[in-house]
Amino acid sequence: TIAVKDEDTIADFVARKIQRGQHDAAVVSPVTLVAATLLFGRVTGGITLGKINKHVTWLREEILDRRISIDWQPDEDVNTIVSYAFNLLDSRNNLTMDGKRITDQTIVRVVEHADNVMDLSYMASQLMEIFLPEALFAVVYLSGTVKQMTHKELYAHFTFLVRLFKHEFIYPWSREEKFNTLLQWFVKKNLLVTNQEGLYTKVVTFENNEVEYTRVCLLASFVYPTLDAYWITSCSLSALRDLPYMPRKIVPVLSQWIAAHLITGRRTVYREVLSTEASQNAVDNFLAIGFIDAVHPKTKLSPDAQILLLELGVTTNEDLVMVSTRIIEENEASAGIHESENILLKLADIASLCHEIEKYRLVTDNVNLRHNAQVFDKCQNQIRSILRADQSYATQHGMQLDREEDQMIQLVYSLKAASSTPILSDDGSGKHSRRVSQAYNLKSS
* C-beta separation of 134 from 189 below 8 A: no
Helix (H, G, I), strand (E, B) or coil at 135: helix
Per-residue burial over 334-356, b if 16 or more Cβ lie within 10 Å, else e, is eeebeeebbbbeebeebbebbbb
Integer Cα distance of 406 and 414 in angstroms: 12
CB atoms under 10 Å from CB of 279, counted, come to: 25
Integer Cα distance of 185 and 138 in angstroms: 11
pLDDT at 431: 39
CB atoms under 10 Å from CB of 34, counted, come to: 28
Integer Cα distance of 321 and 295 in angstroms: 6
Band of pLDDT at residue 372, cut at 50, 70 and 90 = low
More confident of the two residues 359 and 391: 359
pLDDT at 443: 47
More confident of the two residues 445 and 19: 19
Band of pLDDT at residue 273, cut at 50, 70 and 90 = very high
Integer Cα distance of 173 and 50 in angstroms: 35
Taking CA 381 as the corner, what is the angle to CA 426 and CA 268, rounded to the nearest 5 degrees? 90
- CB-based burial of residue 30 (10 Å sphere; 0-12 exposed, 13-18 middle, 19+ buried)? buried
* C-beta separation of 39 from 125 below 8 A: no
Helices 224-236 and 251-264 sit at what angle, rounded to 10 degrees?
110
Q: Which of 11-25, 296-310, 355-369 has the highest mean pLDDT?
A: 296-310
Band of pLDDT at residue 418, cut at 50, 70 and 90 = confident
* C-beta separation of 258 from 235 below 8 A: yes
Counting Cα atoms < 13 Å in the Cβ hemisphere of 273 gives 30
Helix (H, G, I), strand (E, B) or coil at 97: strand
Q: Is the pLDDT of residue 331 over 60?
A: no
Q: Is the pLDDT of residue 341 over 70?
A: no
Q: How many residues does the chain have?
A: 445
The bridge status of strand 199-202 relative to strand 292-295 is unpaired
**Lowest-confidence range among 22-31, 129-138, 404-413?**
22-31
pLDDT at 278: 86
- CB-based burial of residue 65 (10 Å sphere; 0-12 exposed, 13-18 middle, 19+ buried)? exposed
pLDDT at 164: 93
pLDDT at 216: 96
pLDDT at 429: 40
pLDDT at 422: 40
The bridge status of strand 27-28 relative to strand 69-70 is parallel
Per-residue burial over 95-134, b if 16 or more Cβ lie within 10 Å, else e, is beeeeeeeeeebbbbbbeebbbbbbbbebbebbbbbbbbb
Instruction: Name the DSSP class of 424.
Output: E
Integer Cα distance of 191 and 332 in angstroms: 34
* C-beta separation of 400 from 394 below 8 A: yes
Largest CA distance in the chain: 77
Domain boundaries, the chain: 4-220, 224-439
Closest to 110 (Cα-Cα) out of 270, 278, 274: 270
- What percent of the chain is modeled with pLDDT above 90? 50
**Lowest-confidence range among 137-151, 165-179, 329-343, 420-434?**
420-434
Sheet holding 199-202, edge to edge: 148-150, 199-202, 192-194
For residue range 197-242, list pLDDT tens digits in order: 889 999 998 899 999 999 999 999 999 999 999 999 999 999 998 8
Integer Cα distance of 145 and 140 in angstroms: 11
pLDDT at 98: 86
Q: Is the pLDDT of residue 33 over 90?
A: yes
Query: Average pLDDT for residues 169-190, to the nearest whole number?
Result: 92
Q: Is the pLDDT of residue 417 over 50?
A: yes
DSSP-derived secondary structure for 137-156: HHHHHHSSS--EEEHHHHHH
pLDDT at 194: 92
Q: Is the pLDDT of residue 137 over 80?
A: yes
Which region, left, alpha or beta, applies to residue 26 given φ > 0 means left and ψ of -120 to 50 means alpha? beta
Integer Cα distance of 413 and 435 in angstroms: 15
pLDDT at 356: 92
Instruction: Name the DSSP class of 174.
Output: -
Tell me what percent of the chain is helix, strand and coil, each rounded to the nearest 5.
60, 10, 30
Which region, left, alpha or beta, applies to residue 364 given φ > 0 means left and ψ of -120 to 50 means alpha? alpha
- What percent of the chain is modeled with pLDDT above 70? 85
